């Protein structure tokens, strides 16, 4: 038996990227961090990954894997990449603007780079791809990291000024602004585990930075709306489905606590300063008198559980905010493309289910359009609809991308029962 799941008219379909992960040639606090830590990351890989991962991805032992370098050279090849997106039936695309390019020196905006991103936006428009523009997807300009990054007294003001500049120069081209990508993940890795720049392990700073980011979003929201009142402004939140296994009292209480802090705290604080919620969802965390008690029946190359229902539950958790929701990221690392088609279809069944259950989901952006630089993991995880040969920079469309294209083009999914 087959059933056709029809998505709402005007639903936005596409994929996402971020500047530092695909552009190449960036100089910022992340590129400095890479140079300092590449040898260590390569040396530590044997303790971090299971033997099946070490066998399949020996690149993880090579320090070069951890240097973003020319990445996919998307900075120069965006036209070719958008042609591919268009050929795959996409009608939307999410990307980020690199702060260190726009403001390489404190208070000095680079007109050449502004012109570059204008061309990027025009290239999207020419192909009828609706841009979703992320203002900040993690790296900081060197001048700001030298002042202490988000700890610097003026950090919120610097961000507001940068966001206002983007709104002023691109107000006619951009309808959807995402101020901050995954504040939770940034604060966690930068300030508690110390795995990411600035490499701090200080819980006090962690809470301080979360609150600075809340403030930064609110200020940027107000600045953008003052310049472009019609613009839609929100964040991309990294929400996790915390499941209280067997519904016991203790598991329910643990779930309540982590939902409150991880999934809802930031969104509650900005609830009067958002026109939509952007959801990034990858994770399910089963609570059974402790966290991460997942069954892991199916996993991605990174060992993350493939549990599509997590997307339904995280979407349902956003209903209370009473604004439209866009899935800004969901996807998997799957180098041999053996699970991607199944996973995308299973995710979309959950989006459909959430829509039917009253969540106003208006778009789905797969992570990612291209294979890219996965931060401290480097290049070996392959998230792309399009495979990149990092030697030749040749692009190859994966079969799963063609299956996703049929869904995008028909605005529907055939469900086999």
Place of tokens 């966290």: 291
Closest CA to 367 of 145, 95, 99: 95
Give how many residues touch ligand IFM by CB under 6 A.
Answer: 7
Pairing of strands 412-416, 2-6: antiparallel
The verdict on 151 binding ligand IFM (CB under 6 A) reads no
Least CB distance to ligand IFM at residue 171 (A): 26
**DSSP string across 258-315:** HIIIIIIHHHHHTTTS-SSEEEE---EEEESSSS-----SSB-TT--B--THHHHHHH
Q: Among 280, 281, 314, 350, which residue sits at the site for ligand IFM (rule: CB under 6 A)?
A: 280
Our CB check for ligand IFM shows the closer of 197 and 223 to be 197
Closest CA to 369 of 170, 120, 78: 78
Alpha-carbon span 100 to 262, nearest angstrom: 29
Our CB check for ligand IFM shows the closer of 177 and 367 to be 367
Closest CA to 280 of 380, 190, 382, 383: 383
Least CB distance to ligand IFM at residue 154 (A): 26
Our CB check for ligand IFM shows the closer of 251 and 300 to be 300
The verdict on 374 binding ligand IFM (CB under 6 A) reads yes
Active site residue 59: no
Least CB distance to ligand IFM at residue 302 (A): 8
Our CB check for ligand IFM shows the closer of 191 and 367 to be 367
Count Cβ neighbours within 10 Å for each residue of 25-48 and write b for 16 or more, e otherwise.
ebebbbbebbeebbeebbeebeee
The verdict on 195 binding ligand IFM (CB under 6 A) reads no
Q: Among 11, 13, 14, 18, which residue sits at the site for ligand IFM (rule: CB under 6 A)?
A: 18
Least CB distance to ligand IFM at residue 23 (A): 13
Backbone angles phi, psi at 287, to 5 degrees: -100, 120
Residues whose CB falls within 8 Å of the CB of residue 286, separated by 6 or more in sequence, listed in order: 243, 245, 292, 293, 294, 295
Instruction: Give the x/- contact pattern for ligand IFM in 45-74, rule: CB under 6 A.
Output: ------------------------------
Our CB check for ligand IFM shows the closer of 99 and 367 to be 367
The verdict on 28 binding ligand IFM (CB under 6 A) reads no
Count Cβ neighbours within 10 Å for each residue of 383-392 and write b for 16 or more, e otherwise.
bbbbbbebee
The verdict on 329 binding ligand IFM (CB under 6 A) reads yes
Our CB check for ligand IFM shows the closer of 18 and 26 to be 18
Least CB distance to ligand IFM at residue 21 (A): 6
Least CB distance to ligand IFM at residue 45 (A): 17
Place of tokens 């489905």: 241
Our CB check for ligand IFM shows the closer of 31 and 280 to be 280
Q: Among 81, 103, 182, 376, which residue sits at the site for ligand IFM (rule: CB under 6 A)?
A: 182
Alpha-carbon span 392 to 73, nearest angstrom: 11
Q: Which long-range contacts (CB under 8 A, 24 or more apart) does 49-52 make?
A: 49/303, 50/303
The verdict on 307 binding ligand IFM (CB under 6 A) reads no
Q: For the chain, what's the residue count? A: 417
**DSSP string across 8-22:** PTT-EEEEE--HHHH
Q: Select which of 23, 130, 160, 182 is catalytic.
A: 182
Least CB distance to ligand IFM at residue 290 (A): 24
The verdict on 367 binding ligand IFM (CB under 6 A) reads yes
Known catalytic residues are 182
Binding residues (CB under 6 A) for ligand IFM: these are 18, 21, 182, 280, 329, 367, 374
């Amino acid at each position: 038996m087959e059933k056709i799941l029809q998505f709402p008219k005007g639903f936005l379909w596409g994929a996402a990227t971020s500047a530092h992960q695909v552009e190449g040639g960036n100089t910022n606090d992340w590129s400095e961090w890479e140079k300092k830590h590449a040898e260590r990351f390569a040396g530590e890989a044997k303790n971090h990954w299971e033997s099946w991962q070490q066998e399949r991805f020996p690149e993880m032992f090579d320090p070069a894997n951890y240097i973003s370098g020319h990445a996919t050279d998307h900075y120069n090849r965006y036209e070719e990449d958008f042609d591919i997106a268009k050929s795959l039936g996409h009608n939307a695309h999410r990307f980020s603007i690199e702060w260190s390019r726009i403001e390489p020196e404190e208070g000095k905006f680079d007109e050449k780079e502004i012109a570059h991103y204008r061309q990027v936006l025009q290239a999207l428009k020419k192909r009828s791809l609706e841009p979703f523009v992320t203002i900040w997807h993690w790296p900081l300009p060197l001048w700001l990291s030298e002042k202490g990054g988000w700890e610097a007294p003026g950090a919120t003001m610097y961000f507001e000024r940068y966001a206002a500049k983007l709104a002023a120069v691109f107000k006619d081209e951009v309808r959807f602004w995402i101020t901050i990508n995954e504040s939770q993940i940034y604060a966690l890795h930068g300030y508690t585990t110390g795995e990411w720049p600035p490499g701090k392990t200080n819980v006090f700073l962690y809470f301080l930075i979360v609150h600075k980011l809340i403030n930064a979003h609110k200020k940027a929201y107000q600045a953008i709306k003052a310049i472009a009142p019609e613009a839609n402004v929100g964040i991309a939140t990294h929400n996790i489905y915390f499941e209280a296994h067997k519904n016991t009292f203790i598991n329910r209480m643990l779930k309540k606590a982590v939902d409150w802090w991880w999934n809802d705290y930031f969104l509650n604080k900005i609830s009067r300063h958002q026109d939509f919620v952007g959801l990034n969802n990858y994770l399910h965390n089963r609570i059974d008198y402790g966290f991460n008690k997942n069954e892991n029946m199916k996993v991605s190359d990174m060992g993350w559980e493939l549990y599509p229902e997590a997307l339904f539950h995280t979407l349902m958790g956003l209903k209370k905010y009473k604004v439209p929701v866009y899935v800004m990221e969901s996807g998997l690392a799957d180098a041999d493309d053996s699970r991607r088609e199944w996973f995308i279809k299973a995710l979309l069944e959950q989006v459909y289910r959430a829509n039917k259950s009253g969540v106003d989901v208006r778009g789905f952006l797969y992570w990612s359009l291209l294979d890219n630089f996965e931060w401290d993991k480097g290049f070996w995880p392959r998230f792309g609809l399009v495979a990149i040969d990092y030697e030749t920079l040749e692009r190859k469309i994966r079969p799963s991308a063609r299956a996703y294209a049929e869904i995008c083009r028909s605005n529907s999914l055939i469900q086999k029962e």
